[in-house]
Amino acid sequence: MSQGTVVSINIARAASGPMEELAEVKAVAGRGLEGDRYFNKEGSFSETPGTGREVTLIESEAIDALARDYKLELKPGDARRNIVTRGIALNHLVGKEFRVGDVKLKGVRLNEPCNHLASLTDDKVKQGLVHRGGLRAEILDDGTIRVGDPIDA
Please give the pLDDT value at position 15. Answer: 84
Q: 105-126, pLDDT tens digit by residue?
A: 999 999 876 555 555 566 666 6
* Residue ranges of domains in the chain, CATH in brackets: 3-152 (2.40.33.20)
pLDDT tens-digit series, residues 8-65: 999 999 887 888 999 999 999 999 999 998 888 776 555 666 677 799 999 999 999 8
Question: What is the DSSP track for the chain?
Answer: --EEEEEEEEEESSTTPPEEEESEEEEETTTEETTSTTTTT-STTTTS--S--SEEEEEHHHHHHHHHHH-----GGGG--SEEEESS-GGGGBT-EEEETTEEEEEEEE----HHHHHHS-THHHHHTTTTS-EEEEE-S-EEEETT-EEE-
Q: What is the pTM of this model?
A: 0.87
